[in-house]
Chain A
Amino acid sequence: MDLTVLLFLLLYFLGMLAVGVISMRRGGASSMEGYYLGGRNVGPLVTAMTMQSTSMSGYMFLGAGSLGYTQGYYGFWYAAGDIGGGVVNLSVLGRKMRKLSQIMGALTSIEYLEKRYPSKWVRLFAAVLSVFLLGAYVLAQFIAGGKGLELVTGLPYEAALAIAVAVILAYTLMGGYGAVAYTDLLQSFVMIIGIVWILIATLQEVGGFTAANEALGSLDPTLLSVWGRDLAYEGQWGIVLGALLIFSIGYMGWPHVVTRHMAMRNPFHARRAGVYSTLWNLIFVSAPYILGVLAILVLPDLDDPEQAIFALAQNLLPSAVVGIVMAAIMAAIMSTADSILLQTGSIAARDLYERFINPNMKEVQMVRVSQIIVLLVGIACGLIALFEPPAVFAVVVFTTSVLGSAFLPAYVCAVWWEKANTPGALSSMIVGSGVAFIWQYFQLDGVTEIHPMLAGLVLSSLTMFLVSLLTQRSHPVPEHILTAIRETDELRPLPNRLKAQQDFALANEAYCVSYSSGGR
């Protein structure tokens, strides 16, 4: 056990905690919007960074490294999609979703779905599915945290996992939503510094890219191919397209990621946030995959490929730097687990318990329900991670595929297609989640050579279009929702300054005034 590493780890955690407490106290929760959405007052840089660090963290350090280590440059299909993921997400949903959510007075992503597709079943299904899948995502973070601590401290996996889960749960139960965005910003910078540091050290170790590729080629030429080790995926375009899509558009189906659009100060910040996220992705996203590939040369006999990046850091960097890098990795994992646990707790408390069981829930009950859910999810995930830990990569691909297939058509059509109605959205969510789940459970990708994300997404989108069109007469989209959607259109060119300096808190009132003046 290296005391220098542990000291840096401890110092970093304390620093994160301090940032969290300060931003929570300064930002306060003076309004419901403040509590859930940071008062819709988050700038483009924080929007981009919080989206990226929440989306990636644990997966990037374990899953991506493992994919590179086992499949060589095949992982770049995932990386290529991921690099463009932020800008795609912000361009397609950012501005319109920010406006529509404010006009409709929605504070959570699930509430937004119910307001756009008015039906309690939409909320019920979306909330239950989100709680289940976000719980699975938390599981991946726990495993990542346990494995990271195991390597740093030398403790057995079980003990390291117990410590990681206890720290994450304590951090979550005492933390607040307001703090998350700002700690994410700080962590995103530390993550990028950490990964670049390991990359430089590894490249020095292997003698640069060219030498590394030559050495890999002599080991196994197929590692240099984009079709995977032994060309396992050669010509399987259904798999490759799914790998490309999963992180390029899959994020648009994540409830805890799309909430970031709703928190933007200004809808027009979406463009700038897209640029920031792409710049960050260009540096950050490809590095873990490259590191995984290079680890084949540096550490050819790794028992657990998911520890490739941790092991590289430990073997190649001085203790103090390992401490900083490991702290960054652990804090990133913890911050993701923290924000998803909080999101899960709030969905369970607000979108399920308060909406369906006890509408007159008191303050104490709200907090208790939320805390109990966080604890239950935490304990359940901790037990699974202890007795039967799945691979982080598999869990992340599973949750992203199911969430993306279930919610992506519903979120995208909500702002881009006026005919998208409640039956269309509900059936699309059911079909999308069902297909992606069944596809992975029965491993149909091996039989069909089609990635579960691709299968789920195509079928859920088709369902959305077909059912919406077939039920237009019986379930027309209410007039007030149509008016709200039209309000999100950019009707004409306007001076940039005039657009950017608008007070978007007036969007809701403007909508009602125009709705009222129109006599509708």
Chain B
Amino acid sequence: MSHQGIVSANCEMEEEVWLEARLAQDDVNKRVAMINRAFQMTRLQAVGFPYLVVAFCWHWRRFGILRHGLLHCAVDRCQGTSITMEQLPLGAPIADAELVQPRLDTGLLHQKAYRHVTQARRHHLKQRQATSLHVSSARLIRKPLWKVDVSHAKYGEMALLLDGLTGGYYVMP
């Protein structure tokens, strides 16, 4: 990827968009009960976590047919942790969500996304299938999370962070 690619991708960046919250606000209570039946939800706060999603595409020829590859790489704008995503399901913004402020520069995030995708494709390169990567789009997105305060008769008060996409949870310290 050239630096021109990064610059043009930056220019194309739109306003922040939200990923679809598959775990809707109305279902959070049910999900909390599934995690532990003894939990009583006392407070619910939506959180929008900032990511930069860069879509990379590449082409290669196999058996005479031109093929195309596409991979989305999401880079967390606070810590720079990156993950790949096969789909990018967009949804409506969540009202009254707490927006975590991004701390990293987008140029750096582009580099991280590029490195991530090149690493992910590295074993293909060993088979001599490497081709140059192109940035097809770059978007600033917000990933929906639910911060839930719960109380437990035996273990007391605690806070959970729920993934709005997968429903996974993490006990916050």
Contacts and interface: CB of A to CB of B under 8 A. Distances in A.
B79 A366 contact: no
A367 B100 contact: no
B168 A505 contact: yes
Contact of A367 (B81, B84, B122, B163): B122
Contacts of A196: none
Interface in B103-156: 111, 115-116, 118-123, 125-126, 130, 133, 143, 145, 147, 155-156
B4 interface: no
A509 B161 contact: yes
A493 B170 contact: no
A503 B160 CA distance: 11
B168 A503 contact: yes
A446 interface: no
Given A498-B171, A503-B166, A506-B161, A364 B35 contact: no
B168 to A, nearest CB: 3
A450 B121 CA distance: 49
Contacts of B163: 503, 506
A364 B125 contact: yes
A219 to B, nearest CB: 54
Contacts of B126: 174, 176, 367
B20 interface: no
Contacts of B47: 513
Contacts of A31: 82-84, 116, 120
Given A31-B116, A32-B116, A498-B171, A508 B81 contact: yes
A497 B82 CA distance: 28
Interface in A480-512: 486-487, 489, 491-495, 497-499, 501-512
Contacts of A511: 79
A235 interface: no
Contact of A503 (B100, B133, B158, B170): B170
A35 B145 CA distance: 27
Contacts of B143: 509
B172 A516 contact: no
Contact of A509 (B49, B101, B120): B49
Q: Give the most central of B118, B143, B169, B170: most A CB within 10 Å.
A: B170
A506 B155 CA distance: 22
A364 B130 contact: yes
A28 B120 CA distance: 8
Contacts, number: 128
Main secondary structure of the interface of A (DSSP, over half): helix
Contact of B76 (A29, A504, A509): A509
B173 A516 contact: no
Contacts of B118: 362-363, 366
A486 B101 CA distance: 21
A359 B170 CA distance: 34
Nearest to B172: A510
Given A29-B119, A34-B120, A516-B101, A491 B155 contact: no
A362 B35 CA distance: 44
Nearest to A178: B123
A504 B170 CA distance: 7
A104 interface: yes
B49 A513 contact: yes
A494 B122 contact: no
A492 B152 CA distance: 13
Q: Which 7 A-B pairs have the closest CB atoms?
A: A503-B168, A506-B170, A105-B81, A363-B118, A512-B78, A32-B116, A510-B161
Interface of B: 3, 35-36, 47, 49, 76, 78-84, 98, 100-101, 111, 115-116, 118-123, 125-126, 130, 133, 143, 145, 147, 155-156, 158, 161, 163, 166, 168-173
23 contacts: A28-B123, A29-B120, A29-B122, A103-B79, A105-B76, A363-B121, A364-B125, A366-B119, A366-B122, A367-B122, A367-B125, A489-B173, A492-B155, A497-B36, A498-B36, A506-B168, A508-B81, A509-B49, A509-B143, A509-B170, A512-B79, A513-B98, A516-B78
Given A359-B111, A501-B169, 9 more contacts: A24-B123, A34-B120, A35-B119, A366-B119, A367-B126, A506-B163, A510-B161, A513-B145, A513-B172
